């Protein structure tokens, strides 16, 4: 099913959607819907701050580096604080883990009602804000294992164990994309109503599209297979589309098809994207929309993480296009 809100004539909010999903599961407590509600609240607040970033003089570097050694942008810090504050009061969350924090934050133990772990990249692509580029928030939700004492070990679950994943894209409109394991739905923020409204249900990625997305400036340091694929793509009239924000690049592929690649390089031999809170949620979304995702030649969702900020190479998109890249590897 690939249906738009305009085709039904009805308005359906994100909150209504999540409550409807929960109603299909007897015994559901409503805890999950409260978490999505907190994420949507954070998304609205971040969208507001992104729109006013230049007016409020919150663009540019914050003067510190995060745990990955990357320069933090002021909006990285603001978005992280908003998410921590919105999610910190949700009684069912055991652990919060952010790209901007070195260690996971333990809110409560399983014996205290902590059922879930929420991981997120607060503001993907924040370095493009100075030039009015699209940025986004990526999130994933996992079940908490109360028998594991270490917060980092608790969240190091393969992507197949995600119970929900999504992203919020702050562009010309604010888009909220989510999957709970039964397809991918797209909502957009109506600022007059103050709610995310369903605009597309059951999104399906085209199986093929002659478009690739990669930062070709680093081609010389890509492994040989990627270089050979790019030669083949050039010879077969493929188009290149690269935005430089994971959320924006994946969103384009989700709607239009194609393949996105972030290969290993000489300076980042393990890849640069973080497996747990960037690659895994995007892989779940893409697979739920009928596409494919691999790390090297291994399905992304089958990779076993061993640390919170673990990096990974990533290829995802239309199933036929991902297979073509894999054939060269």
What's the CA gap between 114 and 153, in Å, rounded? Answer: 15
What's the CA gap between 295 and 293, in Å, rounded? Answer: 7
**For the segment 267-318, what is each residue's pLDDT rounded down to a tens digit?**
999 999 999 999 999 999 999 999 999 998 899 999 999 999 999 999 999 9
Q: What is the reported pLDDT for 61?
A: 79
Closest CA to 77 of 41, 112, 49: 49
Question: For the chain, give me the number of helices (H) and strands (E)?
Answer: 9, 18
The segment(s) of the chain belonging to CATH 3.30.540.10 are 5-200
The segment(s) of the chain belonging to CATH 3.40.190.80 are 211-328
User: Which helix (H) or strand (E) element contains residue 314?
Assistant: strand 314-317
N-terminal to C-terminal alpha carbon distance within the chain: 34
Place of tokens 């969702």: 301
The CATH class of 5-200 is alpha beta
- pLDDT bucket at 59, cuts 50 / 70 / 90: confident
Task: Tell me: pLDDT of 1 over 60.
Answer: no
Mean pLDDT of the chain: 92
**For the segment 169-219, what is each residue's pLDDT rounded down to a tens digit?**
999 999 999 999 999 999 999 999 999 999 999 999 999 999 999 999 999
Cβ neighbours for 321, distance < 8 A, ≥ 6 positions apart: 208, 209, 211, 212, 257, 258, 259
CB 282 within 8 A of CB 293: yes
The CATH class of 211-328 is alpha beta
């Amino acid at each position: 099913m690939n249906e738009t809100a305009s085709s039904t004539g009805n308005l359906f909010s994100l909150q209504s959607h999540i409550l409807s999903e929960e109603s299909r599961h007897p015994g559901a407590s409503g805890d999950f819907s409260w978490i999505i509600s907190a994420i949507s609240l954070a998304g609205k607040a971040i969208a507001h701050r992104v729109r006013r970033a230049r007016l409020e003089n919150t663009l540019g570097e914050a003067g510190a580096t995060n745990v990955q050694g990357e320069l933090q942008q002021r909006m990285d810090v603001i978005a992280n604080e908003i998410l921590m504050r919105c999610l910190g009061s949700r009684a069912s969350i055991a652990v919060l883990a952010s790209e901007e924090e070195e260690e996971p934050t333990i809110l409560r133990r399983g014996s205290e009602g902590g059922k879930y772990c929420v991981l997120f990249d607060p503001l993907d692509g924040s370095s493009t804000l100075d030039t009015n580029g699209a940025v986004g928030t990526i999130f994933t939700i996992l079940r908490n294992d109360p028998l594991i004492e270490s917060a980092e070990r608790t969240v190091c679950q393969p992507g197949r164990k995600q119970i929900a994943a999504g992203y919020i894209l702050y562009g010309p409109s604010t888009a909220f994309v989510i999957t709970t394991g039964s397809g991918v739905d797209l909502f957009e923020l109506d600022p007059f109503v103050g709610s995310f409204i369903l605009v597309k249900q059951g999104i399906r990625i085209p199986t093929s599209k002659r478009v690739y997305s990669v930062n070709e400036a680093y081609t010389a340091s890509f492994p040989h297979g990627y270089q050979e694929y790019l030669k083949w793509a050039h010879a077969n009239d493929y188009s290149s589309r690269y935005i430089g924000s994971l959320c924006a690049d994946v969103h384009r592929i989700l709607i239009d098809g194609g393949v996105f690649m972030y290969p290993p390089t000489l300076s980042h031999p393990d890849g640069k994207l973080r497996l747990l809170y960037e690659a895994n949620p995007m892989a779940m979304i893409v697979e739920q929309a009928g596409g494919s995702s691999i790390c090297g030649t291994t399905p992304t969702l089958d990779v076993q993480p061993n640390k919170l900020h673990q990096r990974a190479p990533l290829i995802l998109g239309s199933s036929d296009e991902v297979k073509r890249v894999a054939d060269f590897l």
